[in-house]
Amino acid sequence: MKHTKRWLLTGVAVIAIVGLGYVARASHYKTHFLNDTQIDGINVGGQTAAEAAQSVNTKLRHQRYTVVDKTQTLTQFSAHQLGIKPYTTAQVRRLIDKQNAYTWPAHMTTAAASTHQLGQKAIDRTDLNKVSTQIVSLADNANRTPTRNAKLVYKNQAFVIQKEVYGSQVSRTSVNQAITSAVSHHQSQIDLKAAYVKPTVLASSRSLKNAKKTAIKLSKNKITYTLANKKNTLPEARIASFLTTANGHVSVNQKSVEAYLIKLSYTYGTVHQTRHFKTHSGTYVNVPAGLYGWSIKVTAETPKLSKLILAGKPVTRTPIIQGTGYHKNGQDFGSTYVEVSKASQHMWVHKNGRVIISTDVVTGKPPKGTTPSGVYVVWSKQRHATLRGLNDDGSKYASPVSYWMPVDDTGVGIHDSPWQPRYGGSWYVSHGSHGCVNTPPSVMAQVYANVPLKTPVVIY
């Protein structure tokens, strides 16, 4: 019995001693790092915060990084150049405060080693950008293969997915990532290959495959334009050429649509056309384009057509038109217009196919004031206007008129001219206007009353 008590007392004493040792050791690790603890790759086990900060900062002061391009060294830089600042004792102490001191027995082996990463958080973004910008410059992207995303292309009358290209170019962002990763993993050598820009869209992408199906469906849609009694249906290949993909989504290339509408406008529009005009006498003359005529308002129609393409529904429409003289039946300026012959120095007002006014006029004095030939339009009408400009000698003139009808955008128009003593013949050669069509006051009132706005004016 006495023997048993002796062993019992001995066991209690051992447990007490072990317990006191365990507590004492735990107390020690409240101010020291647990065994095998690492900070930025430095073993600081058993060290105080001050000692650990000194250990890490000593390595930091001497830390250099080497960028290798294949087998050559591209450049080197230091931790200081990355703006990695020395760690304070307070920063390191916070790590000690977070550890569980009572788990110290588990840290007697490397199995439970703690690792802390401070380097990544300490990099200064501005300094990092400076270093990466220099690396990008040294890498010389001009002589490297660019990275390309997989994309949808229309080739040989079919949509195909063009595979991605893994290039060898680098960017500031990709270099930043490579440097940050190297610092985080305590790697002093950085392979430039790790910074190659990678494609973000792959040929295997489900979104790209779905985009292909969508594009095929949209290209088969029927979109028809009606223009001046003519129909123009967009071919499947044309619609297909408008479609593009971005991040796996089908969209419309606005510039391609705009180019198509410009061409369509030039094909059907009249504002730029030379007219084969039948004169009052029945002969034909070619009259160059002027202000009169219409065209497609491309800037307004482009988003309209783009939206219709993506809608994927059959549609027939007339595009947004600008200018004057558009008729659904395809007619140009019809049978109501003003005709001015510079050679004959005469003007005729045609109304519904019948000449209602015929008068001699005086056009511009050649060569400087020659009235421009073209198909123009009465775009304004004004009573009691004062016409201003410069005479041949450079002096200014101000001529009051009772009726003013401008027809172009340079100041040429039709108006009365009480200062002219005669009209017709060759009078214009020496006494012509500055470009306007001078009309006898006795006739001009009739012209003004019978020629409404937007009436075509053919001058040849």
Mean pLDDT within 1-14: 55
Q: Would the pLDDT of 120 be above 50?
A: no
pLDDT for the residue 119: 43
Mean pLDDT within 379-393: 93
DSSP 192-210: GGGGBPPPSS-TT-HHHHH
Mean pLDDT within 67-87: 93
Q: Would the pLDDT of 11 be above 60?
A: no
Task: Tell me the pLDDT tens digit for each residue of 129-175.
Answer: 999 999 999 999 999 999 999 999 999 999 999 999 999 999 999 99
Cα separation of the two ends of the chain: 142
Task: Tell me the pLDDT tens digit for each residue of 183-213.
Answer: 988 899 999 999 999 999 999 999 999 999 9
- Per-residue burial over 247-285, b = 16 or more CB atoms within 10 Å of its CB, e = otherwise: ebebebeeebbbebbeebbeebbbbeeebebeeeeeeee
pLDDT for the residue 457: 98
pLDDT for the residue 59: 85
Q: Would the pLDDT of 12 be above 60?
A: no
Mean pLDDT within 281-299: 97
Average pLDDT score over the chain: 91
Kindly report which listed range (56-60, 126-130, 193-197) carries the lowest average pLDDT score. 56-60
DSSP 453: T
Q: Name the amino acid, one letter, at 228.
A: A
**In degrees rounded to 5, what are phi and psi of residue 105?**
-60, -35
Mean pLDDT within 80-89: 89
pLDDT for the residue 62: 87
pLDDT for the residue 301: 98
pLDDT for the residue 105: 84
pLDDT for the residue 23: 82
Q: Would the pLDDT of 234 be above 70?
A: yes
pLDDT for the residue 121: 53
Where are the domains positioned within the chain?
25-121, 206-272+292-323, 337-459
pLDDT for the residue 93: 93
pLDDT for the residue 7: 58
pTM beyond 0.85: no
pLDDT for the residue 349: 98
Match domain 206-272+292-323 to its CATH number in 3.40.50.720, 3.40.50.2300, 3.10.20.800, 3.40.190.10. 3.10.20.800
d(CA 54, CA 63): 14
pLDDT for the residue 393: 83
Residue that the structure tokens 């027809």 belong to: 407
Q: Would the pLDDT of 31 be above 70?
A: yes
Task: Tell me the pLDDT tens digit for each residue of 398-415.
Answer: 999 999 999 999 999 999
Overall fold of domain 337-459: L,D-transpeptidase catalytic domain-like (2.40.440)
Mean pLDDT within 101-124: 66
Contacts of 172 (CB under 8 A, 6+ apart): 129, 132, 133, 136
User: What is the percentage of the chain residues whose pLDDT exceeds 90?
Assistant: 78
**In degrees rounded to 5, what are phi and psi of residue 196?**
-60, 135
Catalytically active residues are: 415, 436
Task: Name the residue with higher pLDDT: 365 or 60.
Answer: 365
pLDDT for the residue 185: 86
Kindly report which listed range (20-24, 33-37, 117-121, 232-236) carries the lowest average pLDDT score. 117-121
Contacts of 1 (CB under 8 A, 6+ apart): none
